[in-house]
A and B are shown apart, each in its own frame.
Chain A
Amino acid sequence: MIIALIVLFLLDVALGSVNIPLSEVLASFLGSSDNEAFSSIILKIRLPRAITAILAGSALSVAGLQMQTLFRNPLAGPSVLGITAGASLGVAAVMLATGSATTAFAIRQLGIGGSWLIILASTIGAMLVLLIILAISFKIRDNVIMLIVGIMVANITIAVVSIWQYFSDPEQIQEYILWTFGSLGGVTNEQLKVLALIIGFGILMTFFTSKSLNALLLGEDYAESMGLNIRWTRIGIIAITSVLAGAITGFCGPIGFIGIAVPHLTRSALNTSDHKILIPATVLVGAILMLFCDLLAKVPGSQTVLPVNAITALVGSPVVIWIILKRKNLKKSF
């Protein structure tokens, strides 16, 4: 799998709309390229994009895995807690209100603009929803209720966004809709450092939860009898998921499907439900699938590009269906 990851990573860097010979790609890496345009494209566009794909793929997949185990529900994903919707609300607030609302003007006056503003807004949006969810999770023990509350919170935020859209100019709506398509290419090198730090930390924290997740799979009562503090475990898992999903949504937009599909894919392929194996494997499979989808979205050789969000579902769904039907071992995992 690691080999597949490396091959796809190199392919993703080497292929794109602009036809760059392989020798130039290598020269750019080594810093010996004479062609400034080519080396800029490789180092400033394709490399950050490929790394972003890896981060997004692994973060969303791991977040999805945690949610599926926590809620013991195969339909759960990083978006079920309403975190993605919260991020969308934040972005909508900025994109659909700029020009008219004084608040957005005030923010611009502070010198935060463009992409950082969007990232900040979506992080705040995701955080807000996260705080609501956490507050509720302190009170409620039942995971099924938690799941429903998450979905309801998501619906409320979506409704607010849709009212906002109704009263907005077509150009502003277009900008917002483009954001919802998801984008891996908008992350520049300096933003990538921040993103990598957050995601790296989040995934590291996930590894520490593997034991608790395994225990949770056997039932909450059993887990409790093993000395696990259910409440704090749950809060910890929700917090990690929120950070992972919130950060990716902030930087790349709402990327769907990966989070729900990759855990199934990994579980079925490895035929295990041990999280000590599942977590690292999910990280790898998520990264591989995301790189592969990005490669397709770029439509190498053409001058155009497809929305990555559509590609993930279009390519991923048949694969998941095929594997699940073939193995028929889904039930065992929950």
Chain B
Amino acid sequence: MKKTENYITHRRTVYILLCLLIVGLSACNPKSKSDQQISDFDPSKDYFPDKLSINHAVGFDIVYHEHYKVVHLFRHYNDLVDTVSYALVQKGTPKPEGFDQLHTLQIPLQRIAAVSTTHLGMFEKLEALDQLSAIESKEYISSEKIKALVDEGKISELAASGVLNVEQTIANQTEVLLGVGFPNSQNDRYQELENAGIPVMLNADWQEKDLLGRAEWMKLIAVLLNKEALANTVFNQIESEYNRVLAQVQKEVKDAPSTITGIAQGDVWHVVGGKSFAMNVLNLAKVDYPWKSDSSTGSLKLDFETVYQAGLKADYWMTPSNAKTLDEILLHDSRYADFKSIKNGNVFNVYGRYTEGGGNDYYESAVVNPDIVLKDIVKIFHPELLPNHQLVYYNRLK
């Protein structure tokens, strides 16, 4: 009898100790709750009640499943068209079949490296700077917030010298690197990273056809972070403001001022093609352009005198390469003084938010502010439409 009693007491002590241990453990590890780790997996449960749909961008798509999402990245900037797919699996749930280790990511991600400045504005819009673990280089960015985080050591620089440092990227515990999907851009470096087990998502926002398409790439970052709800709110707001300005242009603009673009380099003058992104932006503001019926999506290579002839009469001159003042243009070639746009002071470039170090916010936050870019363009060509708008990304050369 005594033995039994003793046994019970013993068992009780073990129980109490066990309970204490469990309580202690869970108290010590409060992270497990905030990480949304799901211990008891329910295959029929929808883990992503908020969903995003891609309506403008052509470079990627998202498909939702119960406990994972599939992201398709379409590459069509070179002759080889192919699709790369990634499974984004909710932490604590099983991995779906058909995806190798490299293309399976545990979301929400905590440490993302983003080497294009066009991503940085997206992280800020999505209030996700804590998850941005590394950038390319501080030198070329404008965001004061991100610069401060780099100085504090919370965000690392992976390519301070201009070339991506593979070892540092690995040492930085990068979960995924958002690369830039130019043809042949640092491709060997990306390959090295993938060999080391760090997935590289090639972002090709630059090849989108319009401003909203580019801005929509913020949704790609949102799905990596489970920030669908916020992304929807932010993007819808941008979209409706953008459409409001567009409708105003459609309704009120009657005349179409003319413009030329670019600047001569040697004997050649590259002007934007008739089906290019830049032309698309000009079209929004109903601008007349000598090569608007051209069918190229990139740029046109023209002889100096061809563009010179058009420049004599054109009302405006947009983005003369990296010229920041009218004097700079005239020093380049004194013949530009004959242009109507120079005489009237109607020369504009994208240095409205340029930092001395070489950073340009046009390549940073402008990507996620297509409504402001549109307003800038409308303000330039039809100032009477937006009397209260001040140019943000564009500037008038003096």
Contacts and interface: CB of A to CB of B under 8 A. Distances in A.
What band does the interface of chain B fall in when counting residues whose beta carbon is under 8 Å from A? 20 to 34
Given A45-B305, A303-B302, A305-B301, A183 B266 contact: yes
Contact of A41 (B264, B305, B358): B305
B303 A298 contact: yes
Interface of A: 16-18, 36-37, 40-41, 44-46, 99-100, 112-117, 167-169, 171, 175, 178-179, 181-186, 188-190, 253, 297-298, 302-305, 307-308
B303 A41 contact: no
Interface stretch (B100-108, B276-284, B325-333): B325-333
Given A181-B266, A308-B267, A167 B302 contact: no
Interface in B321-360: 322, 327-335, 338, 358
Contact of B358 (A37, A100, A113, A114): A100
B331 A113 contact: yes
22 contacts: A16-B305, A17-B303, A17-B305, A18-B309, A36-B312, A45-B304, A100-B358, A113-B328, A114-B332, A171-B322, A181-B266, A183-B267, A184-B267, A186-B264, A188-B333, A188-B334, A297-B267, A303-B303, A303-B306, A305-B303, A305-B304, A307-B267
A185 B267 contact: yes
Contact of A114 (B139, B162, B313, B331): B331
A175 B304 contact: no
A182 B266 CA distance: 7
B357 to A, nearest CB: 9
A29 B284 CA distance: 43
Contacts of B264: 186
A304 B335 contact: no
Contacts of B309: 18, 37, 41
A181 B266 CA distance: 8
A18 B305 contact: yes
Interface of B: 139, 161-163, 264-268, 301-306, 308-309, 312-313, 322, 327-335, 338, 358
B305 A304 contact: no
Contacts of A99: 358
Contacts of A114: 328-333
Given A18-B306, A182-B266, 4 more contacts: A36-B312, A37-B312, A188-B333, A253-B266
Contacts of A117: 331
Contacts of A183: 266-267
Contacts of A186: 264, 266-267, 333
Contacts of B303: 16-17, 298, 302-305
A44 B335 contact: yes
Nearest to B325: A113
B153 to A, nearest CB: 24
Contacts of B306: 17-18, 303
Q: Is the interface of A mostly helix, strand, loop or mixed?
A: loop
Given A41-B309, A167-B162, A305-B267, A185 B331 contact: no
A195 B193 CA distance: 52
Contacts of A100: 139, 358
Contacts of A304: 301-303
Top 3 nearest A-B pairs (CB, nearest first) are A183-B266, A114-B331, A114-B332
Given A16-B303, A303-B303, A45 B331 contact: no
Contacts of A36: 312
A231 B205 CA distance: 63
A18 B313 CA distance: 15
Contacts of A182: 266
A45 B335 contact: yes
Contacts of A116: 331
A188 B328 contact: no
A17 B304 CA distance: 9
B397 to A, nearest CB: 14
Nearest to B265: A178
Contacts of B305: 16-18, 41, 45-46
Nearest to B302: A303
A61 B181 CA distance: 46
B162 A115 contact: no
Which of A116, A178, A253, A297 has the most chain B CB atoms closer than 10 A to its own CB?
A178
Contacts of B333: 114-115, 186, 188
Choose among B264, B327, B335, B358 the residue with the greatest number of A CB atoms under 10 Å from its CB: B335
A178 B331 contact: no
Given A44-B335, A115-B333, A304-B303, A185 B266 contact: yes
A49 to B, nearest CB: 8
Contacts of A115: 331-333
A36 B313 CA distance: 11
Contacts of A178: 265-266, 268
A175 B308 contact: no
Nearest to A183: B266
A114 to B, nearest CB: 3
A188 B335 contact: yes
Contacts of A45: 304-305, 308, 335
B272 to A, nearest CB: 15
Contacts of A171: 322
Nearest to A185: B267
A167 B309 CA distance: 37
Contacts of A16: 303, 305
A305 B312 CA distance: 20
Contacts of B312: 36-37, 40
A207 B223 CA distance: 76
Contacts of B358: 99-100
A190 B330 CA distance: 13
Nearest to B182: A170
A197 to B, nearest CB: 18
Instruction: With a 10 A CB-CB cut-off, give which of A40, A169, A185 has the most chain B CB atoms.
Output: A185
A48 to B, nearest CB: 9
Given A16-B305, A17-B303, A37-B312, A113 B338 contact: no
A168 B302 CA distance: 26
A186 B331 CA distance: 12
* Interface-central residue, A17, A36, A184, A307, by most chain B CB under 10 Å: A17
Contacts of A179: 266
